[in-house]
Amino acid sequence: MAKANGKSEAQNAGLDLDHEVPAGDDGNDTVAEAAASRESSGAEAELQKLRAERDSLLDRLARAQAEFDNARKRGIKEQQESRDYAVADAIKSLLPVMDSMERALQVKSDAAELRSGVELIYKQLQAGLAKLSVNAIVSKGEPFDPHYHEAIEMVETSEAPDHQVIEELQRGYKFKDRLLRPAMVKVAKNPGR
């Protein structure tokens, strides 16, 4: 009865139990296996394609990083070379001053000749600095400017206008428009103000 019951339930479910299917030879299994095989080979091909693309992108990234590092190193080297050449040019323009100093020290002469030799060397040094765009800051007789002057002392006097530089203790210098060293000065202060 269980068999009859089982058959009727199977028939109710729409299954044909009278048709025998050989074991392991299910029609759906072969189709499913073929589909799975196609999906597997398609997925494997896609995976291989993605791996190749990833490897290519990683290679490009590594090359870009190497190029960037090389460009950075090249830039640093060029900056250093530029600084070195600039310093070399500056030194080269001051070498004649050194030569003149050596010649002046070798000569045995009186004070007047020594003074004229030192004045000549001073003029050479000024010319060398001017060639490098280094200029002295004019201070004496000028109004005090905190951008270019450093007040060392305020002197009470009625002989000069208030806040005028009356004495330069150490000359200041500019390189083009850049301050190298401020001038150290004494500044007038009028009494009663």
User: What is the CATH number for 40?
Assistant: 3.90.20
Question: Is 86 contained in some domain?
Answer: yes
Question: Is 17 contained in some domain?
Answer: no
Give the per-residue pLDDT at 29. 64
Residues 122 and 166 both lie in one domain: no
d(CA 189, CA 154): 6
Question: Is 159 contained in some domain?
Answer: yes
Determine contact, residues 185/168, Cβ cutoff 8 Å: yes
Count of domains for the chain:
2
Q: The CATH number of the domain where 183 resides is what? A: 2.30.22.10
Give the per-residue pLDDT at 31. 67
d(CA 176, CA 171): 16
| Structural domain for 112, as ranges | 28-132
Question: Is 153 contained in some domain?
Answer: yes
Question: Is 180 contained in some domain?
Answer: yes
User: Which of 132, 163, 184 is the last residue before a domain boundary?
Assistant: 132
Residues 50 and 128 both lie in one domain: yes
d(CA 55, CA 28): 39
Residue with tokens 């590092």: 69
Give the per-residue pLDDT at 48. 93
Question: Is 7 contained in some domain?
Answer: no
Residues 104 and 140 both lie in one domain: no
Residue in 163, 161, 118, 164 with CA at minimum distance from that of residue 141: 164
User: Which of 102, 132, 162 is the last residue before a domain boundary?
Assistant: 132
d(CA 30, CA 39): 14
Residues 54 and 96 both lie in one domain: yes
Q: Tally the residues of the chain.
A: 193
Residues 78 and 104 both lie in one domain: yes
Residues 50 and 143 both lie in one domain: no
Question: Is 8 contained in some domain?
Answer: no
Residues 42 and 126 both lie in one domain: yes
Question: Is 69 contained in some domain?
Answer: yes
User: Which of 132, 153, 175 is the last residue before a domain boundary?
Assistant: 132
Residues 145 and 76 both lie in one domain: no
Helix, strand, or coil here: 171? coil
The pTM score is 0.52
Give the per-residue pLDDT at 19. 47
Residues 44 and 127 both lie in one domain: yes
Residues 169 and 181 both lie in one domain: yes
Residues of the chain with pLDDT under 50: 1-7, 10-17, 19, 21-22, 24
Give the per-residue pLDDT at 61. 96
